[in-house]
Amino acid sequence: MNVLTGYIVREMLKGTFVAVTILLMLFNLFTFSDELGDLSETYGLKEIFYYLALTTPGIFCELIPASGLLGSLFILGAMANNRELIVMRASGLSIFGIIRAVMLAGFFLVIASILIGEFVAPHTERMAKILRLTAQNRQLEINSDYGIWLREDKKFISVRQIIDDHNLADISIYELNEKRHLQQALHADSAIFLGNQQWELKGIKFSEISTQQILASQQEHLLWLTSIAPNLLRSAVINPNNLTFVDLSHYIDFLKKNHQKSHIYELAFWERIVNPLVIFIMLLLSAPFIISVHRGVSVGERMMIGIVIGMGFNIIDKVVGHLGLIYALNPILIAFIPSLSMLIFALYFVNRMRN
């Protein structure tokens, strides 16, 4: 890495850091405003600030592509206005040398995004969800990778599959005695919500446990009275943001083996693969707008260009993703279509700039 390339890379990373910091502050400000609506005795300002801190790594990963674009437009735009790019080109650094330096900065952003997205964000997102739900509803105790755990008095309930709002499958209920020893264990193949805090359990295997013996029995149907309602289960259901790349892969296999729908998780899986490409595409898009645009263009105009491109891509990506889920289209195709379209768009402008 020569001196000019290193200089561009350092300035690009600084600009991206400033952009992502500003965007994070804005996002957290809006989130804070929303969370104030749920303020209560158990969910106070301390919990809200802790919740914001825990969700920040996940938001950071989502903002990296847009921040890279804004940082690139700002830094390269400032260099163009200060005639630094002209001096660099006069000293032998070609246009594609500048683009190569921008892509090298993107490589460091991709590494940071992957590390935080895989080893930090999933865990903090899960902790944030647990914090929020436990503060607002004391029933929820723990959220696992492959299902949810709920607590109701002395009972611990494991729900491995949520078919829809009113149908569950693979439910286990464990009840402790006064000494916190396991005294009853129940497993049901399925459960249907009947209303009025009632669930009908089907395919039941029941065990009563004592220090002397274990009595096992089976039942076809059983009425389960509980305060656990479908709305709690919906809020606690597994979110792709709570899973790492490897966990997503395992969970997709788990759903397919149990003949459950996995499109949303497959789309999230392939989007994890596409995200590094998006960062490079956004940075590649910035080069033509800087090098081919007149140097008198203000910082505000360059920022507006970046915001329009970033928001446009995000809207297209969300629309294509939702359409793919609605019509059960191929997740690989849906994940790659917006990014490949933007890549073609970027390469077209780079080619025009070269000609």
The SS3 assignment for 327 reads coil
Q: Residue 54: its pLDDT value, please?
A: 94
The Cα–Cα gap between 95 and 291 comes to 8
What kind and span of H or E run contains 67? Answer: helix 45-81
Q: What share of the chain is helix, strand, coil (3-state, %, to 5)?
A: 65, 20, 15
User: In this structure, are residues 109 and 20 in contact, taking their beta carbons and an 8 Å threshold?
Assistant: no
Q: Residue 20: its pLDDT value, please?
A: 95
What kind and span of H or E run contains 198? Answer: strand 198-209
The Cα–Cα gap between 105 and 238 comes to 34
The Cα–Cα gap between 104 and 13 comes to 10
The Cα–Cα gap between 115 and 199 comes to 43
Residues ≥6 apart with Cβ < 8 Å to 98: 8, 76, 85, 88, 89, 287, 291
Q: Residue 320: its pLDDT value, please?
A: 92
Spans in the chain with pLDDT lower than 70: 1, 136-147, 164-165, 231-238, 258, 260, 289-300, 302-303, 354-355
Give the neighbor-by-neighbor strand order of the sheet with 155-164: 140-144, 147-152, 155-164, 167-176, 182-195, 198-209, 214-225
Q: Residue 256: its pLDDT value, please?
A: 80
Residues ≥6 apart with Cβ < 8 Å to 183: 175, 176, 177, 208, 209, 210
Residues ≥6 apart with Cβ < 8 Å to 326: none
> φ, ψ for residue 126 (rounded to 5)?
-65, -45
Q: What is the DSSP letter of 94?
A: -
The SS3 assignment for 181 reads coil
Domains in the chain: boundaries: 3-127+244-354, 147-236
Q: Residue 96: its pLDDT value, please?
A: 85
User: In this structure, are residues 50 and 131 in contact, taking their beta carbons and an 8 Å threshold?
Assistant: yes
User: In this structure, are residues 114 and 284 in contact, taking their beta carbons and an 8 Å threshold?
Assistant: no
Chain CA centroid to CA 119, Å:
13
The SS3 assignment for 162 reads strand
Answering whether pTM is above 0.85, one says no
